[in-house]
Amino acid sequence: MAEVRIRDVRKSFGHVEVIHGVSVDIADGEFVVLVGPSGCGKSTLLRMIAGLERISDGQILIGDRVVNQVPPKERDVAMVFQNYALYPHMKVYDNMAFSLKLRGADVGDLDARVRRAADILGLTALLDRFPRQLSGGQRQRVAMGRAIVRDPQVFLFDEPLSNLDAKLRVQMRTEIKELHQRLTTTSVYVTHDQIEAMTMADRIVVMHDGIVEQIGEPLELYDNPRNTFVAGFIGSPAMNFVRGTVRANGGPGRLEAGEGVSFPLGDGWSAHDGRPVVYGIRPEHLVMAEPGQPAVDGEIAVVEPTGAETLLVSRIAGAEFQAVFRERHAFRPGERVALAPLLDKVHLFDAETGQHL
């Protein structure tokens, strides 16, 4: 096991720079998730840690060693690929044993390690099968087995659950997390799915357009997003945003959003009187307004019950707002509804920079 330090790493393909100076410190035994929309550079960063892409500038350290010039096989990392990358002509056993065989490992030791990994992942009965004869989840497990067998310093996961169906994805998510708790090997996990990131990570690195937007523990990112990108990316359904101007007018302020619509604000925003801002409120922080409570009035557009909760889409000031209710209400499309934001959960961002105020 080892810590991984990424220092001002840049990556260019030709003249196009796709990663613009990323720095992340990953502690020994930590499970870090790189998350972001496609094209944000998260996979490229992971592949640079693995040694599959050259590092254009900056340094990556595994343990105390700068690995910029170290070939992949000497970095002591194991990688799980999105499409599993199992060798189709080798049985499960041979797939898992391949790296050890290449190193000329002692046959008895090799066998013991393969069987131990197979035991951990529940693959013992499948050792004699070819990858084609396995289901998606089983293949994914073999891919992890291949990584475990080597007992590497760092596990790298490149969107390992993207090819699985939704149910299996949730199940494998738990399995990977359990596996990490058991092996405590430093892990870097790439995904575009923020739910995966939230549920699995010790810490999340949110990336966007080749830069790090924010690094933090899952709930920290959820509670204190640094900017509109993180606020909108973390959390599902996504945070509602509306542009407007802060009006303090003495007591509790409000946000003028145009078309005569205004959103209530709590105390403490008076310093920003007259400032153009982006007002953010999460769907779960909108409640049915009590009489007299400051609220916004909207028209119900769509009602989506999921059983445990109900998603309400309503139109306010020409924009669609999502609200989530755990209790059941008799909503009907076309009706009016008064929604009250929880004032201490409101986020204001600068209208130009998108930074949290």
Partner 1 sequence: MATDAERVRAQETAAPIDLWTRLKYDRNWLGLWFMLPAAAFLLLFLTYPLGLGIWLSVTDTRIGRDGVFIGLENFEWLNQDPVFWLSVFNTFLYTIVASILKFALGLYLAVLLNNHMPWKAIIRAIVLLPFIVPTVLSAIAFWWIYDTQFSIISWTLTELGLISENINFLGEPNNARASVIAANIWRGIPFVAITLLAGLQTIPQSLYEAATIDGASRWQMFRHVTYPMLTPIIAVVMTFSVLFTFTDFQLIYAMTRGGPANATHLMATLSYQRAIMGGNLGEGAAISTAMIPFLLAAILFSWFGLQRRKWQQGESDD
Q: Which residues bind partner 1 (CB under 8 A)?
A: 50-52, 72-73, 77-79, 81-83, 85-90, 98-99, 102-103, 130-133, 135-136, 146, 150
Q: How far is the CB of 164 from partner 1 (least distance, A)?
A: 12
Cβ proximity to partner 1, 96 vs 221, nearer residue? 96
Alpha-carbon torsion, ordered 72, 77, 83, 84, to 10 deg: 120
Beta-bridged to residue 17, according to DSSP, are 12
Cβ proximity to partner 1, 52 vs 289, nearer residue? 52
Nearest residue to 202 (alpha-carbon basis) of 224, 183, 180: 180
Cβ proximity to partner 1, 131 vs 341, nearer residue? 131
Cβ proximity to partner 1, 83 vs 124, nearer residue? 83
At 332, give phi and psi (nearest 5°): -130, 135
Q: Are 277 and 354 in contact (CB under 8 A)?
A: no
Q: How far is the CB of 6 from partner 1 (least distance, A)?
A: 18
Helices (H), the chain: 42-50, 92-102, 107-121, 136-149, 166-183, 194-200, 218-223, 228-233
Cβ proximity to partner 1, 48 vs 212, nearer residue? 48
At 155, give phi and psi (nearest 5°): -95, 135
Q: How far is the CB of 184 from partner 1 (least distance, A)?
A: 21
Q: At 313, is the secondary structure helix, strand, or coil?
A: strand
Distance of alpha carbon 357 from its chain centroid, rounded? 24
Nearest residue to 40 (alpha-carbon basis) of 159, 160, 144: 159
Cβ proximity to partner 1, 43 vs 227, nearer residue? 43
Q: How far is the CB of 183 from partner 1 (least distance, A)?
A: 18
Q: Are 263 and 244 in contact (CB under 8 A)?
A: yes
Q: Are 283 and 320 in contact (CB under 8 A)?
A: no
Q: How far is the CB of 295 from partner 1 (least distance, A)?
A: 52
Q: How far is the CB of 65 from partner 1 (least distance, A)?
A: 17
Cβ proximity to partner 1, 115 vs 129, nearer residue? 129
Q: How far is the CB of 235 from partner 1 (least distance, A)?
A: 32
